A and B are shown apart, each in its own frame.
Chain A
Amino acid sequence: MPKRTDISKILIIGSGPIIIGQSAEFDYSGTQACKALKAEGFEVVLANSNPATIMTDPEIADRTYIEPLTREYLEEIIRVERELSPGAGFAILPTVGGQTALNLAIELSDGAVLEKYGVQLIGANVAAIKKAEDRLYFKDAMQKIGLDVPKSALVNNLKDGLEFAGKIGFPVIVRPSFTLGGSGGGIAYNREELLEVLARGLDFSPVHEALIEESVLGWKEYELEVMRDVKDNVIIICSIENFDPMGVHTGDSITVAPAQTLSDREYQAMRDAAIAVIREIGVETGGSNIQFGIHPGTGRMVVIEMNPRVSRSSALASKATGFPIAKIAAKLAVGYTLDEIPNDITRKTPACFEPTLDYVVVKIPKWQFEKFPGADENLGPQMKSMGEVMAIGRTFKEALLKGVRALDTGKKVGSEKIEPKILTQRLVTPHPERLSYVRYALRQGHTVKQLAKMTSIDPWFLYQLKEINDMQLELEKHPMESIPTEVLREAKRMGFSDGRLAGVWRLDGKGAQEKVRHLRKKHGVTPVYKRVDTCAAEFESFTPYLYSTYEEEDEAAPTDKKKIIILGSGPNRIGQGIEFDYCCCHAAFALRDDGYETIMINCNPETVSTDYDTSDRLYFEPLTLEDVFAICEHEASAGAPVGVIVQFGGQTPLNLALPLKASGVNIIGTSPESIDLAEDRKRFGKLLDELEIPQAPGAMAASVEEAIEGAKRVGFPVLVRPSYVLGGRAMVIAYDEEMVVRYMKEAVEYSQDRPVLIDHFLEDAIEVDVDALSDGKDVVIGGIMQHIEEAGIHSGDSSCVLPAVDIPERLLKRMREYTFKLARALKVVGLMNIQFAIPRASVLESSTPLGGSETHPHTDRDGDKVYVIEVNPRASRTVPFVSKATGIPMAKIAARLMTGRKLREFLPEFIERRADLDTGRCYHVKSPVFPWNKFPGVDTVLGPEMKSTGEVMGVADTFGEAFAKAQTAAGQKLPTQGTLFISVTDHDKPNVTEVSRKFVDMGFKLVATAGTADVLEGAGMTVERVYKVKEGRPNAVDLIKGERIHLIVNTPHGVDPWFDEQAIRRAAVMARIPTITTLSAARAAAEGIAFLQRGEVRVQALQQLHAERTVRGQSG
């Protein structure tokens, strides 16, 4: 069937900020959908609040709305778009934006918005979505077509829940309706647990509804990725088998493709079921993900759920097979049939077939519990991982070991902390470290049988682990010098890394891996590269989508073109997220246009960078020295010049920069030495002194004594942290000696060459982020972003506004001056990011409300100091945000500078005028999103250690509106009326009245603790007094629980209140009450609320905003 002609405009809804359960995979699928539909000549409109995505790049869609993903804003977008093209056939594609997009589609339809504006849904209709998403409808549908499901009942109150559980017996699974990543789901083994889990579940469900379900814990879990077209042709793209049995969310399971332990009869029965399901649910076109459980003893098969949309698993399946599900789904949605769409990889054959694999794919999740002390680390039906890696090998063993080293944990295999006491518990209860414990148990001589019994992991998988263990033991028998070639080859074929071999032979420190590499070469044991081709080599493949393995034949002969290798950022994690993938993709796009062969190396299946048409060649490989260097060598072997970009992928590639260079690899852009210099406290401190740029006094310590001494010298409070970290891992503010000691004893590992860093902590300072471009000579500042929270709250966790709203010009000037100096001193070629801290004292005279006019003399007092917090001569988290705000693709320009082009080619006027990039008439606010709801009980206070998983952007003509939008987009519903609870520390008291008055003027009642109340009453405001938590009852927490409070301003300071206020923050999160921890944020909120009270909903397309400025010298 040819393309539909009754539609000309299509709105694609994105998935919003990165959160647990909805990560970069929806940028990948959304981008594919946009590109595919645009290529088909449709007018593509995109709505997504996440600025860090490729899909929100202005050239990906015709009109891009970076607006909150709420019913109100979408309705406005639809209204505007309808107005723009009254007659046009207008459709919404809701199936590439995750659960968020599906839920919005339902809201829009239920709210009659679709009718009102004559908009239709394509891909999946409302009926199908409801049938699939409503767990009860779904089960009925399954039984109707004769498929088995776990027994269950839908309840909306605790009583019914307990009653049903009594009937089917514990344990039971609780699964809220309409939530993603299993939010609020859980397992209850007894009544008490059920009360707790069910209460939470009901609370999480937008419809206050949850399913109580028969447990199939320990069963084998499978997923099938299914596609269907309008002619009812149905194909299975990929089968996925979960290594961790039923009970661990598939997002938290190690998964394997294709399924390994099913015979054809069993697999075909599952295939038949999947086809029946997609037909019954009525997904007309596109992809769906269907999950099954199989009883390991009887083969009884139950259907677990279906996702009528592309998903994390479909992204994985696309990368695992080379079949671009989202792209094809988009084409199917507009009427094409599978046989009309060619298979990009084979070209000659159609997309209507079922990919077959001649390799094994393993996905391993990445968790970050270290960032959330107190969180429950056991794995269950609710997803908790932040990201994942995928590895391709010719065998399961090889793929698994590649995956393990791709995780980039910084730990050597075998060096994990193992507590023999809890071995049984760790094996029985799913946990991030379970794999390590299985390895340990095997080493201790546990049998596969015993382990299978304890873990319920399929014995076949365990046997593979045993073979790995046997090889480890074999290796340990041979000293390095006399290792037989055959054993060495066997080990490498099995996936043993050079690092692990170095471990076996007790080689450590610098050069250990190199020694192993040379040994391998001596024995002629080197990797070859094979292609992912969808067809197991039955047909020729035209896309160099490659993976390494230790076989005979290489299929990736390098070309003689000049090439650039871009190192990706590996698994998504807090502090190293999609922003870096964005930069890597931009490098690939720009340099391809400049005529280079672009080569991507990455191991994250969720990303756009691992889409085989983002770069000319894709190596799906771990980002370790061994794997990356092997590729560099291989690519260089044809003699053509090779340059490697390390500054776009975050810390992971940066850690490889020096060793790669030492091995003779040509790193382009800012030199690894400069990057290293910026990370090296001593040398960098010296540089700052030379440049006369102030920095908070700092010290370094490799022992407790040194630490105490250092802390005293720089003066309390101090900020303590290990060297070389991204996202401020294991970083604390210590207010006294005792805290420093505890930190040194418990929190970190340190050594002479990895000392602990101690800085004086600048209290009450405004933090500023600056991003700049430099070719080593000229420098252009991309943006000066004023943080809303003060210094001390990680730059990644603080909201920020571009342009800055109340920083005096003279201080902006100073920061520019420092930036220029530093860029030149570090010979930055490419991107640079600097964080500054400005003591509020310097700005005090001008501490008029944010956005207010500022007036003050141009004197240079000591209060005018601007401190440098850190300099990152590399891409930063804010690059995509600044690029969207200014319309200048900074990462693309940076990539070109690294190849030797000059800044003058791109931004001559800005250089002449020494001007920052133009942010136009709008304010742009970036706000973070936190995973608190996944980690109940964890303290939600913000600090110097990053906790946010994603970000959103609000764009508007006034700061207030932009901030309100950002908050709304981030899911923080600012109240427009009600009661404000306010409690500030002494040095905030002078400024508290002015803020509070704003709220009073807007009609808010005030509740305050004694000290604050005195000040406010003194200023003639009426205040209700309330006790501090420790003082007595009723206290703040009581009021919050009593739902008397609608907004909290609480500025904690010093160690005691910091902990004292935990109770308030926790209560607030539970009651979903916005909590503001700084006065500046309170001012921002006041302006936001003032706007919200006007009840206006306005949207603007990015392309319009950019067009308004004469964007000079923009290229690419």
Chain B
Amino acid sequence: MKILVCISHVPDTTSKINFTEGDTQFDTNGVQFVINPNDEFGLTRAMWFKEKQGASIDVVSVGGPETEPTLRKALAIGADSAIRVNTPARDGFQVAKELTKVVQDGNYDLVIAGRESIDYNGGMVPGMLAGLLKANFINTCVGLEIEGDKATATREIDGGKETLTADLPLVIGGQKGLVEEKDLRIPNMRGIMMARKKPLNVVEPVEAKPETTAVKFEKPAPKGPTKMIDPDNLDELIDLLHNEAKVI
């Protein structure tokens, strides 16, 4: 089985978010970048397929040279080789279109992406990729088993879960649940050394055109002061929730 894990290179979850150039660009100054958490769960699930079912794992990111350390980290965790599509990521559609070419060229059976990236939170790339490939698609995937060319997956729905089956090739939008937090792997010294020797192939883009443009960013208006309520006067809290916030 050939697996492709799509890796989005995102600001660390604790990053302060600021913008520059008249609020048109994300300010990367002092920001640490990491593997998108949803993709890390997916990569770890892929490692299990590799170890138990003999799969091969490629990782891919669409982006500039700045994404290479993130791809190297994925190699250190255990992916076999990495691909970087040499073009900035501009919107979900453009990324999906670039990835379509990578999947077609590599003939993958299974594509593992994340339910959403934590930067633009589009939740677009996996579904669009599946649509463009005419491959099966399962979103918010919290469990995945593969037997031959048949997949059984669990999808998180509002208020529960659903079990689905589909043939490969399959694209999933994954998240925590594919594996648990405790299953995530921190690259060890040996992994890091080996990662240096693994191939990281830079491929040129198909020059897909984006369909949307982020023209400007805004930060939420600062919140008003917090009203503190004496724990011996909870009637006041109930009164405020009822008459001021009007939520009970």
Instruction: Judge: A and B partners, yes or no.
Output: no
- CB within 8 Å of B: which residues of A? none
